[in-house]
Amino acid sequence: MSRAAEVLTKELGSPSRETVKVIAWNARPDLGVVLQIDQPNREQGAFIWVPYPPDGQPVPEIALEYPGESGRHSNTYPSPGLGRGFPALKLAVKTESELEDTISFIKAFRDSMPLPVVKLQPAEPQSPVPVDVSCMPPVKEQPTRREAIPRAVQREVWQRDGGRCVECDTREKLCFDHIVPFFRGGSNSIRNLQLLCERCNLSKGNRI
């Protein structure tokens, strides 16, 4: 059992559902928590899905936001509050500190308490991931109606995702993917961008 699964089980009790891709808990009748176990392929790190918090409550800095109409991991849909059409958060937990903060966030969410602010913590504070611009994928030509992704934003996303595909962990054939596509109102913000390889990007496009 992974560290994240161990801690979630300790705090939320036995899982309500287990598949080859996810482990899920029902924190309360309308609040499901889903740990994705088929990704990421890293010794450390976990993707934890939760419903979008109530209006006015903070969104964790480690979260990617998925609007209700945006395609996401299909195994999240059976859990309470994460059904198809509902917005969700995908928390990319990479450090023990972020895991502890995520558990505090989930417990406060479950108990209808004010949600704590979850900060993005560098995995190695003394040795930040170097940004090697020469390894970044080239900027694709954009239609005149579409604004190009600023290079500064690309650097932030590249460093945050460690120069790897967030789905399969490869460093090959990477591109900057909009979580919410432009045609659905997505922006060039850091929170709406992620690194995907060509294969995972194509797979996401087929789901959408």
Reported as a single tens digit per residue, the pLDDT across 143-189 is: 545 577 888 888 889 988 888 899 888 888 899 999 888 777 788 89
**Average of per-residue pLDDT across 136-140:** 67
Which of 87, 81, 55, 51 lies closest to 68, judged by CA? 87
Class of domain 3-110: alpha beta
d(CA 37, CA 40): 7
The answer to whether 169 and 92 have CB atoms below 8 angstroms apart is: no
Q: Give the angle 88-64-78 at the CA atoms, nearest 5°.
A: 30
The answer to whether 175 and 150 have CB atoms below 8 angstroms apart is: no
Position of tokens 């895991």? 99
Class of domain 133-207: mainly alpha
Query: What number of other Cβ atoms are within 10 A of residue 165's Cβ?
Result: 26
Q: Is the pLDDT of residue 65 over 80?
A: yes
d(CA 140, CA 185): 20
The structure's pTM equals 0.64
Reported as a single tens digit per residue, the pLDDT across 73-131 is: 889 999 999 998 899 999 988 888 889 999 999 999 999 999 998 887 655 554 555 66
**N-term to C-term CA, the chain:** 32
pLDDT of residue 43: 53
Which of 86, 85, 79 lies closest to 29, judged by CA? 79
What are the extents of the domains in the chain? 3-110, 133-207
The most confident of the ranges 43-47, 144-148, 185-189, 201-205 is: 185-189
pLDDT band of residue 22 (cuts 50, 70, 90) is very high
pLDDT band of residue 140 (cuts 50, 70, 90) is low
Q: Any bridge partners for residue 195, and if so which?
A: 176
Length of the chain measured in residues: 208
pLDDT of residue 128: 56
pLDDT of residue 207: 58
- Structure tokens belonging to residue 193: 């961008």
d(CA 28, CA 52): 15
Residue 46: its H or E element: strand 46-51
The answer to whether 11 and 106 have CB atoms below 8 angstroms apart is: yes
Residue 178: its H or E element: strand 174-178
